[in-house]
Amino acid sequence: MKIGVCYYPEHWPKSRWPHDAQKMREIGISIVRIGEFAWQQLEPRDGELHFDWLHEAIETLHQQGLKTVLGTPTATPPKWLVDKHPDMLALDQYGRPRKFGSRRHYCFSSIAYIEECRRITELVAREFGRHPSLIAWQTDNEYGCHNTSLSYSTNAQLAFRRWCKNHYDSIDTLNQAWGNAFWSMSYQNFDEIDLPELTVTEANPSHQLAFWRFSSHQIKQFNKAQTEIIRKHSPGIPVSHNFMGNFVEFDHRLVAEDLDIATWDSYPLGFLDRDAQDAQAQQIWMRTGHPDTAAFHHDLYRGLCNGRWWVMEQQPGPVNWAPHNPSPLAGMARLWGLEAFAHGAETVSYFRWRQAPFAQEMMHTGLLLSNGDEDWAAKEVRQLHEDIQKLSAVLERDKLPEQTAGTVTAETAIVFDYSSDCAIRIQKPGGDSGLHASVGGRFDPLEWTQQAYSALRQLGLSIDIVGQDSDLSNYKLIVVACASIVTDTLASNLKRTEATVLILPRSGSRTKNGTLVDNLPPGPLGELIPLTIIRSESMPPAWQETLTTQDHAGNKLSCTSCDWREQVQTSLTPAGSFSDGWGFLYKHHKIYYLNAWLESESLLALVSSISLSAGLETVQCNAGLRLRRWKNLVFAINYGPEVVQLTELSGLPETDKKALKSDLIIGKSTLFPSDAAIWAV
Amino acid sequence: MKIGVCYYPEHWPKSRWPHDAQKMREIGISIVRIGEFAWQQLEPRDGELHFDWLHEAIETLHQQGLKTVLGTPTATPPKWLVDKHPDMLALDQYGRPRKFGSRRHYCFSSIAYIEECRRITELVAREFGRHPSLIAWQTDNEYGCHNTSLSYSTNAQLAFRRWCKNHYDSIDTLNQAWGNAFWSMSYQNFDEIDLPELTVTEANPSHQLAFWRFSSHQIKQFNKAQTEIIRKHSPGIPVSHNFMGNFVEFDHRLVAEDLDIATWDSYPLGFLDRDAQDAQAQQIWMRTGHPDTAAFHHDLYRGLCNGRWWVMEQQPGPVNWAPHNPSPLAGMARLWGLEAFAHGAETVSYFRWRQAPFAQEMMHTGLLLSNGDEDWAAKEVRQLHEDIQKLSAVLERDKLPEQTAGTVTAETAIVFDYSSDCAIRIQKPGGDSGLHASVGGRFDPLEWTQQAYSALRQLGLSIDIVGQDSDLSNYKLIVVACASIVTDTLASNLKRTEATVLILPRSGSRTKNGTLVDNLPPGPLGELIPLTIIRSESMPPAWQETLTTQDHAGNKLSCTSCDWREQVQTSLTPAGSFSDGWGFLYKHHKIYYLNAWLESESLLALVSSISLSAGLETVQCNAGLRLRRWKNLVFAINYGPEVVQLTELSGLPETDKKALKSDLIIGKSTLFPSDAAIWAV
Amino acid sequence: MKIGVCYYPEHWPKSRWPHDAQKMREIGISIVRIGEFAWQQLEPRDGELHFDWLHEAIETLHQQGLKTVLGTPTATPPKWLVDKHPDMLALDQYGRPRKFGSRRHYCFSSIAYIEECRRITELVAREFGRHPSLIAWQTDNEYGCHNTSLSYSTNAQLAFRRWCKNHYDSIDTLNQAWGNAFWSMSYQNFDEIDLPELTVTEANPSHQLAFWRFSSHQIKQFNKAQTEIIRKHSPGIPVSHNFMGNFVEFDHRLVAEDLDIATWDSYPLGFLDRDAQDAQAQQIWMRTGHPDTAAFHHDLYRGLCNGRWWVMEQQPGPVNWAPHNPSPLAGMARLWGLEAFAHGAETVSYFRWRQAPFAQEMMHTGLLLSNGDEDWAAKEVRQLHEDIQKLSAVLERDKLPEQTAGTVTAETAIVFDYSSDCAIRIQKPGGDSGLHASVGGRFDPLEWTQQAYSALRQLGLSIDIVGQDSDLSNYKLIVVACASIVTDTLASNLKRTEATVLILPRSGSRTKNGTLVDNLPPGPLGELIPLTIIRSESMPPAWQETLTTQDHAGNKLSCTSCDWREQVQTSLTPAGSFSDGWGFLYKHHKIYYLNAWLESESLLALVSSISLSAGLETVQCNAGLRLRRWKNLVFAINYGPEVVQLTELSGLPETDKKALKSDLIIGKSTLFPSDAAIWAV
């Protein structure tokens, strides 16, 4: 458990650096990310290298005992490089170049740019790869940010054709796989294939899905090239990349295969204001962030690199980039850090050290004000530093390592697969679909998954988020939330499991190419529970129906609306039925199939009932309280406005009640808003 | 009265075809549309023809007694053809090519593409034109779908200049006609004329209107070329095209001049969700479609080819292309068919036979599920088949032909003119105007026309929709709904008529070139009723005024808001006046001028009063019931959620009441939701 | 005080001209603007000049004693000119040409077009410059209308590079000034600089601000070239340009430096419907316009040319260009004229003489209907003409000149700086930012300024709107509303003043290059009041907080929400505090700092209290009444629906009460809606 910070020495006079380094150490920081946007400063003209300043900066930090995470600077190619390779620019979906003047102005398929990235990465890795203070690398920065995963350049087009050639035996196979018999879309050879752009109406969804897969592949290759060079010149130093939140524009599991550590950039208030489509939620959580958004991503990214993960950028105060940027409540900068450690973060690194008084992010706060004085968050970091010292001491006392390899940390798992998300998003109802559809809102697979996650978490459960090929043998409850495309591995793991399984709508409905399964949904999951989906419908927002029924345990459920509803053909008796006779909720042994996406309150009631039937111990958290178990520690974090008496929580196990009295490490059993209590069990 | 289906044998293995054909016949289908997207299968490479499979498919159907409608495949040119003629693509209003990858990726002005279409049409027509099972042709598919009526290509630009040259004596005439003195927009010669695109602010509305007329002309020519070839090689077989709903992007009457049968594609739920801008209506009619939308188009398209018309595509279940796609109520697939036959449809053809498990429309249901089992609608088609057998039997009994040439079927007519719609739409208030403005909502001439239609239909009336040059001598009530441009024929027909005439706002306000009439609106209609419009205003949505007045028959009318209001100068006494003194509703002999667009309830009251004064027998239908008379049959269709006692309907003529007891062919006089009753009078 | 009209003789037959001229004189018009869109008529082919008709038109007017304002026709270059210089077109921010077919289709940086404009201006100025009826010139028409201030052409790019070279010593200076160290955005030389377009995410705000400044400079140079030519050939005749409302796309003060008279185009209903984002306000003021919008611009533009200003276009009835175009209340066309004269307008010129029956503006009303009969507004102009004769007589009686040079007319001033507006707008919260952000709504500096103006005006105050470098020595109250960038002059003037100063949020927060001030906001204004802003936040619309506090005078203030809030570090005691402890409203001697943007009611209460403390006499106007003092005249104008008893107005000075009895020139002390009363004091 370490605290880091993102630092840009190139923005400040050298004379300031020692002061900064000393202050970092003083408030409890031990890790500094550096260099990821500094190509221009490292190589102001083609081939003219200026590495001295970076040596000096790293050395200055080192003298204060600060470790360095060094970024490759490939997210911000300088102007001379763009002028040297004009075709390195990505093209947007309308064919327009995405020009120099901000960042990420490159195409993942540009051969010239890939070569330049190899060159600069090798130069930097060779120069700094064995520096004693180097603790990790970061490749590039936030792949895909600002919609840069997909490019419609000629380079991309040619590479896509090659990718298609590699993936399909023959053009006939491809035509068959995509259903190109439809609308005379068949190709005679691979060189006829264009990118799915500027089509008169939507392009074939299989074409789109293939392009998304291809783009994931290009990002993987781009990233892998850097990791290979780094590992050659910087042996033993782990390589990371900083992923983002609410982001599914490429297959993160695929890219993470070549990384040692998955990191992500956590901006709870920015995400809420930018992405949430529920105005009420936006008001309630305006100054804390939604209590489950950061946690969801912590669990998601923990699943990527065998359990090794960081928060590489942590919001410290108001950001600049959301439509509205309110100030977090006092205490949140610390609390967000604790939530991350509760999910096993190795490091939480705040972004940024000092507010820059210029350029795009000048309204983004940091730990220091733009004039160099301390801002609020610096104080909170001091407290967080004290907190983690206490926590480390307990782990040490109890002879538990801070981290251990592996991703299994809980009894509950949610299946989330990126390609399954994409297959559905491409034709998402509601009027915003296709590869450039926005995330969130009704009908969104990622949103649905987060709602299921949130329901489980409101029951005090700790959750792992797993992929299609993850080992499922250790869980009591598995929620198949986003798996429209079911792999053989998933199908066979689910068949073998003794866990309770909750299958959510649209699961198993698609083939690998995104077409409908031959035998009707839920396709391969039909082997788990004998039913088929013979019709589905997407509902307008105005639609309301009150369904009152009970789950299989006899608990009353009521639901006042749903987004998506499926008609089931089966010999099973449903738990209830809608007013028009469509059944609702099916069970077969320990397998549940939920054939409607419910509003959140109904979903919570249902998930609660199923969790109990799975033998899980659930705790009735109120709207703002959350629990998370890590090693022998239990974190209780209060995002809500109410004071919580932890010992009075309904369902809290006796061991916790006891530990709350005997082994409370941080906080009190009377838990105030924006505060945390942590005990050992 | 026949039932058809749209079938894509090219999507399925040949081994399945006999099964399909047999099943079609079994459920009552007798007509199959085929081939309209199969260019790639017919000619996979330039000049390499594969007609055998289509022969075999037609033959397989034929063996089951199924007749074929064959489509020319020109809506989906294959990739090799696009690569052969890259400039065949349309350009959108921003100058971007509309590329291969879906359908309709061609420009109606592409000389190369027109030639290719002639070639394939000739090949197909020659090959299949005399096949004994051929019952009709369909040219292309849904002209204009996905905003493809207008293209901004170089081909279009050159053709537009030629069109202008043909339409105006000289460039001075054109300048005068368009008012190009304004803003120095005059041209010196025809070669200076650009398309109305990318102008700094809106282009001259006369320029836009001319471009719309030109585009209609190009579609007409494109279509005519196919009809001529078909008639040469397939003598005696009628030629049709399938038009769309809520669609005014070209002049349908002009294109229909070259067709034998007008057909259209009816998707009641899709239209409601995509086009309706009234959230309440969207909720009420979510599962039935609006009760007047399909009927309006039935009457509109019946007016195009001397009364011959079909539904070529009928929604069977949820579609894929609206923002939300709920399931229709059980019974609606049959009911929509009955409504079409009530308006004289020769054939109602369901789209599609079997849900495709791939490509853009994989979420579009059919009569069969994607796995080949029957879906709901198949059952309803069986019932519809029984229904029409009963109806045919009655017509035969009463010695009435099922169809007769001619468009007059009612005592009430609504005038709807496409160019008049365009002239107003170009400068539609509300913030969405120009040639690419969306249809529907406030200020929309098509929407206004549909509201007037709906009011008449709620009075139990049957309605003809007529054009500017239609014969008006048979009507008791003529509603001039959309005729901003009044032709000499219309003016003189209206002067001669003895019918009651209701003139709606903006009628007669424009010249043929879309400029304001010299003598103030209502221009030539001022000869019918002595008044002029000296001011008009478009109201913000928030505006509300309660006007309480009475019509000329003394009935109280109240109106709580209106969209558009005109100030009238006249010696006539208005029926009432607004709070600021502007008059409301003028009458002169049997001519009414309504100078405000009212909300629907007020419009209904007003139209009711005027219908009575016109000597029409009106029936007070409730919100969901509709009546339609065809030959000696009366169809009562219940779209609403309430049970209707038909014999108790206020205003129902005695003959109907009697027939309900004595000659009820289908259903009962107690009419349940989503059901129909049909009797003979 | 003169009445004018905009006239287009080129739209009408010559035979009509004498009738028009006679009618103009008859209803009280004495000035006619002419010619500004007539390039095509003046020069139908390159070099072929047709000036006779314009001579004849001017002469026809002259014979009726009408003076002429002649426009240079450069806003509407003819088609032949565009074809001669295809690269004269502007490019939009997506790189698309802005084509011929409406108006303003040129780029301010096109060298070829600038040369053509010089040529035609010289020809016209030489031809008409000494005509005896010529009273003023107008350059071009509405610079920037339809988003034409900014162009992204190659010409613009090259000119921008030159501008940068002139403005920054070296490329290093520029890099430093813009903060280009961020994201490797530094340039190596000026030729690397692109326009801020098509960047992957927002371009550097300093880059954007520089481009805005450059564009202002290009417009200034364009305009200056014309003024120099005109002055050479038309000595003594003042040169004007007609600016627009709610328009900040270039620095108007900069352009006005080369003009003798600032004029603007006032469309109160159009602005309300197009720009206001408050639906309730849009409903209340639908038929009058907002009572402060025109007044604000009158005061703004009066400040530009040493007090000389006109309304060049005054709305007469419904316009065509807003989303909704209702009719004004009877009397408003006159009332808007009186409001202009109350602020010192030399001339109020109605747009247009006669409604054109063709082209883009055919739905725009005029003083005459399109058929040539009088429309409402003609009658109101007659009355206005009587009014101003009475007012002139009183001024003459009291030996006061109608106009005097200078801009100071009031005791209250508001500081509004265009570049300060731009610096904030570029990163405006709320989701709509950048150089092409729309004006109005929350977070908009112009809107905030107008709200402050409105609050003062509801207190019966007369207001001057001043720039950064204006003389401030004559005011009792100075409101620093829009001055994020504070010049040395402003800072020193504010330090010297003895006036009460109210500093509004974000003032003094930016350097000239748009970066944050080094010493935290309010930067140089920190010398006036000892505080610094250490955090600021932009609030989502849903946020609500009730703050109840009192101002420094002890008046209770309550505020239920705010858009923008700042946290202040200071030793001063705030007047109140928010629930989370942030202070509210600071005072130091006579300097107030308001650290939150309040909703309008709270702002009014606060401004009222501060105005009193500044020694101003305030009057409690109701929502619709407004007062304005000009010379010895007091104008009371009633925009609201209530009758106002002027003598009973709370706070009305005794001198006014007395004058209302003894020297009421126009109207009565019982003031009806849409009417005015004017008295002399």
For residue B183, give the DSSP letter: G
For residue A425, give the DSSP letter: H
pLDDT at C496 over 80: yes
pLDDT at C326 over 90: yes
Q: What is the mean pLDDT of residues A572-577?
A: 92
Residue A253: its H or E element: helix A252-256
Give residue-wise pLDDT tens across range B43-98. 999 999 999 999 999 999 999 999 999 999 999 999 999 999 999 999 999 999 99
CATH architecture of C2-150+238-397: Alpha-Beta Barrel (3.20)
Both tokens assigned to A566: 């499926």
Q: Hey, is B451 helix, strand or coil? A: helix
* Whether the Cβ atoms of residue C251 and residue C230 lie closer than 8 Å to each other: no
Give residue-wise pLDDT tens across range B651-677. 999 999 999 999 999 999 999 999 999
Predicted structure pTM score? 0.97
Q: Hey, is B171 helix, strand or coil? A: helix
Q: How crowded is the C-beta side of A62, counted as CA atoms within 13 Å?
A: 14
Predicted confidence at residue A449, as pLDDT, reads 98
pLDDT at C347 over 90: yes
C-alpha Rg value of chain C to the nearest Å: 25
Cβ–Cβ below 8 Å for A518 and B357: yes
Characterise B473 by phi-psi region: left (phi > 0), alpha (psi -120 to 50), beta (else). Answer: alpha
Predicted confidence at residue B428, as pLDDT, reads 96
Spatial separation of the C-alpha atoms in residues C69 and C29, rounded to whole Å: 13
Q: List the beta strands (DSSP E) in B621-675.
A: 625-630, 633-638, 644-645, 664-666, 670-671
- CB B518: neighbour CB atoms within 10 A? 11
Within 8 A by CB and 6+ apart from B482, the residues are: B415, B416, B417, B420, B421, B424, B445, B446, B448, B449, B504
Q: List the beta strands (DSSP E) in C284-399.
A: 309-314, 347-350
Predicted confidence at residue A198, as pLDDT, reads 98
Which of B183, B427, B512, B545 to probe the C interface (max C CBs under 10 A)? B183
* Whether the Cβ atoms of residue A509 and residue A523 lie closer than 8 Å to each other: yes
* Whether the Cβ atoms of residue A251 and residue A419 lie closer than 8 Å to each other: yes
Contacting residues of C for B516, CB less than 8 Å apart = 355, 357-358, 362, 370
Task: Work out the burial of residue B446: count CB atoms within 10 Å of its CB; fewer than 13 is exposed, 13-18 middle, 19 or more buried.
Answer: buried
Cα dist from B152 to A137, B218, C641, whole Å: 51, 13, 50
Which of A92, A173, A183, A580 to probe the B interface (max B CBs under 10 A)? A183
Q: Hey, is B86 helix, strand or coil? A: helix
Q: List the beta strands (DSSP E) in C421-573.
A: 463-466, 477-482, 500-503, 531-538, 547-550, 556-559, 562-570
Q: What is the mean pLDDT of residues C421-448?
A: 95
Cβ–Cβ below 8 Å for B325 and A429: yes
Classify the C-alpha dihedral B557-B560-B562-B568 as positive or negative: positive
Angle, helix B445-458 to helix B418-425, in steps of 10 degrees: 130
High-pLDDT (> 90) share of chain B, %: 92
Contacting residues of A for B355, CB less than 8 Å apart = 516
Predicted confidence at residue C382, as pLDDT, reads 98
Place of tokens 């109020």: C348
For residue A523, give the DSSP letter: G
Q: Hey, is A422 helix, strand or coil? A: helix
pLDDT at A562 over 90: no
Provide the pLDDT confidence category of residue A455 given band limits of 50, 70 and 90: very high
Provide the pLDDT confidence category of residue C547 given band limits of 50, 70 and 90: confident
Q: What is the mean pLDDT of residues C121-130?
A: 98
Predicted confidence at residue B541, as pLDDT, reads 86
Residue B386: its H or E element: helix B376-397
One-letter amino acid identity for A539?
M
Q: Could you tell me the CATH superfamily of domain B412-613?
A: Class I glutamine amidotransferase (GATase) domain (3.40.50.880)
Which is the catalytic residue, given B43, B313, B339, B411?
B313
Neighbours of chain A (3+ CB pairs under 8 A): B, C
Within 8 A by CB and 6+ apart from A364, the residues are: A318, A319, A320, A321, A351, A352, A355, A356
Place of tokens 């005011």: C475
Cα dist from B116 to B49, B86, B99, whole Å: 14, 13, 18
Residues β-bridged to residue B583 = B577
Spatial separation of the C-alpha atoms in residues B77 and C426, rounded to whole Å: 46
Q: Hey, is C393 helix, strand or coil? A: helix
Chain B interface includes A92 (CB < 8 A): no
ipTM of the complex: 0.97
Who among B101, B145, B146 is closest to A185 (CB)?
B101
pLDDT at C343 over 80: yes
Predicted confidence at residue A502, as pLDDT, reads 98
Provide the pLDDT confidence category of residue C404 given band limits of 50, 70 and 90: confident
For residue A199, give the DSSP letter: B
Domain ranges of chain C: 2-150+238-397, 412-613, 625-680
Give residue-wise pLDDT tens across range A467-515. 999 999 999 999 999 999 999 999 999 999 999 999 999 999 999 999 9
pLDDT at C405 over 90: no
Residue C208: its H or E element: helix C205-233
Chain A interface includes B317 (CB < 8 A): yes
Spatial separation of the C-alpha atoms in residues B288 and B295, rounded to whole Å: 13
Q: What is the mean pLDDT of residues C278-295?
A: 94
Place of tokens 């305009």: C223
* Whether the Cβ atoms of residue C70 and residue C105 lie closer than 8 Å to each other: no
Predicted confidence at residue C543, as pLDDT, reads 80
Nearest alpha-carbon partner for C674 in C318, C329, C389: C329
Give residue-wise pLDDT tens across range B383-398. 999 999 999 999 999 9
- SS3 per residue for A217-233: HHHHHHHHHHHHHHHHH
Who among C105, C317, C357 is closest to B516 (CB)?
C357
Lowest mean pLDDT among A114-123, A225-234, B554-563: B554-563
Residues present in chain C in total: 681
Spatial separation of the C-alpha atoms in residues A636 and A387, rounded to whole Å: 14
* Whether the Cβ atoms of residue C462 and residue C628 lie closer than 8 Å to each other: yes
Does the annotation mark C142 as catalytic? Answer: yes
Which comes out higher in pLDDT, residue C655 or C555? Answer: C655
Predicted confidence at residue A44, as pLDDT, reads 97
Predicted confidence at residue C649, as pLDDT, reads 96
Who among C182, C194, C199 is closest to A356 (CB)?
C182
* Whether the Cβ atoms of residue A265 and residue A244 lie closer than 8 Å to each other: yes
Spatial separation of the C-alpha atoms in residues C198 and C91, rounded to whole Å: 12
Predicted confidence at residue B277, as pLDDT, reads 83
Q: Hey, is B236 helix, strand or coil? A: coil
Both tokens assigned to C284: 């209340």
Q: What is the mean pLDDT of residues A427-439?
A: 95
Predicted confidence at residue A277, as pLDDT, reads 83
Q: What is the mean pLDDT of residues A578-607?
A: 93
Q: What is the mean pLDDT of residues C109-119?
A: 98
CATH architecture of A625-680: Sandwich (2.60)
Predicted confidence at residue C254, as pLDDT, reads 98
Lowest mean pLDDT among B276-290, B503-517, C19-33: B276-290
Phi/psi for B162 (5° steps) reads -65, -40
Phi/psi for B415 (5° steps) reads -90, 120
Mean pLDDT of chain A: 96
Residues β-bridged to residue C3 = C348
Spatial separation of the C-alpha atoms in residues A57 and A137, rounded to whole Å: 16
Cβ–Cβ below 8 Å for A83 and C178: no
Which of B43, B98, B120, B360 to probe the A interface (max A CBs under 10 A)? B360
Phi/psi for A509 (5° steps) reads -90, -10
| Residues 130-149, chain C, touching B (beta carbon < 8 A) | 145-146, 148
For residue C526, give the DSSP letter: G
Cα dist from C212 to A187, C105, C269, C482, whole Å: 49, 19, 29, 17
Give residue-wise pLDDT tens across range A263-299. 999 999 999 999 988 888 999 999 999 999 999 999 9
Give residue-wise pLDDT tens across range A76-96. 999 999 999 999 999 999 999
| Residue-wise DSSP of A277-345 | --HHHHHHTTTT--TTHHHHHHHHHHTTTTT-EEEEEE--S--SSSSS-PPPPTTHHHHHHHHHHHTT-
Chain A interface includes B361 (CB < 8 A): yes
Neighbours of chain C (3+ CB pairs under 8 A): A, B
Contacting residues of A for B44, CB less than 8 Å apart = 186, 188
B629-680 to CATH, choices 2.30.110, 2.20.28, 2.60.40, 3.30.70: 2.60.40
pLDDT at A558 over 80: no
Contacting residues of B for C13, CB less than 8 Å apart = none
Q: Hey, is A83 helix, strand or coil? A: helix
Who among A198, A515, A580 is closest to B358 (CB)?
A515
Cβ–Cβ below 8 Å for C543 and A286: yes
Give residue-wise pLDDT tens across range B335-382. 999 999 999 999 999 999 999 999 999 999 999 999 999 999 999 999
Mean pLDDT of chain C: 96
Predicted confidence at residue C666, as pLDDT, reads 98
pLDDT at C245 over 90: yes
Q: Hey, what CATH topology would domain B2-86+111-145+236-397 get?
A: TIM Barrel (3.20.20)
Within 8 A by CB and 6+ apart from C271, the residues are: C245, C246, C289, C290, C293, C322
Spatial separation of the C-alpha atoms in residues B598 and B585, rounded to whole Å: 11
Alpha helices in B442-487 (DSSP H): 445-458
| Residue-wise DSSP of A5-39 | EEE-GGGS-GGGHHHHHHHHHHHT--EEEE-TT-H
Provide the pLDDT confidence category of residue A622 given band limits of 50, 70 and 90: confident
Cα dist from B54 to B20, B70, B240, B612, whole Å: 15, 10, 20, 56
Closest residue in C to B199 (Cα–Cα): C99
Predicted confidence at residue A577, as pLDDT, reads 87
* Whether the Cβ atoms of residue C6 and residue C346 lie closer than 8 Å to each other: no
* Whether the Cβ atoms of residue C159 and residue C218 lie closer than 8 Å to each other: yes
